[in-house]
Amino acid sequence: MNIPDMILIGIGLAMDACAVAICKGLAMKEKSIVKALIIAGYFAVFQMVMPLIGFFLGDRFKGIVESIDHWIAFGLLVLIGANMIREALSKKDKEETDGVSPKIMIPLAIATSIDALVAGVTFAFLDVNLPLCIAIIGIITFGLCVLGVILGRLVGQKLKKKAELIGGIILICLGVKILLEHLHVFG
């Protein structure tokens, strides 16, 4: 997997966290860069740890499913992306609060990084520089979440759904690309 693909995966995976960060920004009673950094830190750490866990789970079963790994990567990325698109098009909005305590942030960070866990499983079947990919995911998540909190304070609820929609589309496109590459459609 090349660096542009890793960047796209990082952006796609960060969109759920970014959408929640926007909502956290909307819920803030006052501007706070410290809160923005704390929120971004929680999401970035979980977005980095979950793919690592997924990788080790996937690596454990690699020998069993190596012949169909591209189908697994395709299926998982399409499912994650489709779920993000479904949530983006849903009429329901999640209620957010201003707090940044571990009691509030850890469940949010886990919930927004489940897709990163699943993506990590696919990394076990791909030729990926895992430390670099995880670092890219973390940096992108951190940056987008800081930006998300700031934008949430400025723009409002409209951007949340678009961020989830874009993230879902990116992940589906990457899944299709992986499948087509393994089927030798691109050479």
Residues 3, 172 contacting (CB under 8 angstroms): no
User: Whole-number mean pLDDT of the chain?
Assistant: 83
- Would you say residue 69 lies in a domain? yes
Q: Is residue 40 part of a domain?
A: yes
Residues 20-36 as b/e (b if ≥16 CB within 10 A, e otherwise) read bbbbbbbebeeebeebb
Closest CA to 157 of 112, 91, 110, 102: 91
Asked if the model's pLDDT at residue 27 lies above 80, the reply is no
How many domains, the chain? 1
More confident position, 177 or 139:
139
Residue 97: the pLDDT is 55
Q: What confidence tens digit (pLDDT) does each residue in 81-135 have?
A: 787 788 778 877 555 556 788 988 998 898 888 888 888 988 988 889 999 999 9
Contact 125, 57 (CB under 8 A): no
- pLDDT 10s digits, 36-55: 999 999 999 999 999 999 99
User: For residues 4 and 19, which has the higher predicted lDDT (pLDDT)?
Assistant: 4
Please say if the pLDDT value at position 161 is more than 80: no
For 52: left if phi > 0, alpha if psi spans -120 to 50, otherwise beta; the answer is: alpha
41 in a structural domain: yes
Backbone φ and ψ for 125, nearest 5 degrees, come out as -100, -5
Domain that holds residue 153: 3-181
Residue 110 falls inside a structural domain = yes
Residue 187 lies in a domain: no
Structure tokens at 70: 């591209």
